[in-house]
Amino acid sequence: MTRNSRMNLLKPILVSFGTMSLGLGIIGIVVPGLPATPFFLLSAGLYLRSSEKLYQKLLSNKWMSYYIVQYQTNKGLTKRSKIGAIVVMWSMIAISCLAFITSIPLKTGVILAGLIGTFVMGFLIPTAHLSNDEKK
């Protein structure tokens, strides 16, 4: 089996996982504790390897493309972006747990998802180090 034929078999699988990841990213915009950015980045990587059309469509989206382009340009997320994302995530977790969620197991699940999201944002996603010129 040649490399091209293997890649042709893999493309639908990569597109499927990319679409699932994109769905999780979109859900992560509104669900506290579920980080959106890592899922958008994963979708971009999977689409890049499987469908130029879907990759370009993702990059042309005004809400998702900013994070992907910044990540690609800077080889990671800036410390400011990471902190901002974590602050927004934990603000939504706090509001949800204090005002809307009454079930202790559900609160626990949301908090655990937030801890995982914080770990991913803080440690797994590279931190971009910008030069003084880029900071302005």
Rounded Cα gap, residues 22 and 92, in angstroms: 21
Per-residue pLDDT of 83-129, as tens digits, reads 988 888 898 889 889 999 999 999 999 899 889 888 888 888 899 88
What's the pLDDT score for residue 1? Answer: 63
Residue 132 has pLDDT above 60, yes or no: no
Query: Which residue in 52, 44, 40, 35 sits closest to 87, CA to CA?
Result: 35
Q: Give burial (CB, 10 Å; 0-12/13-18/19+) of 122.
A: middle
Residue 27 has pLDDT above 80, yes or no: yes
Rounded Cα gap, residues 18 and 23, in angstroms: 9
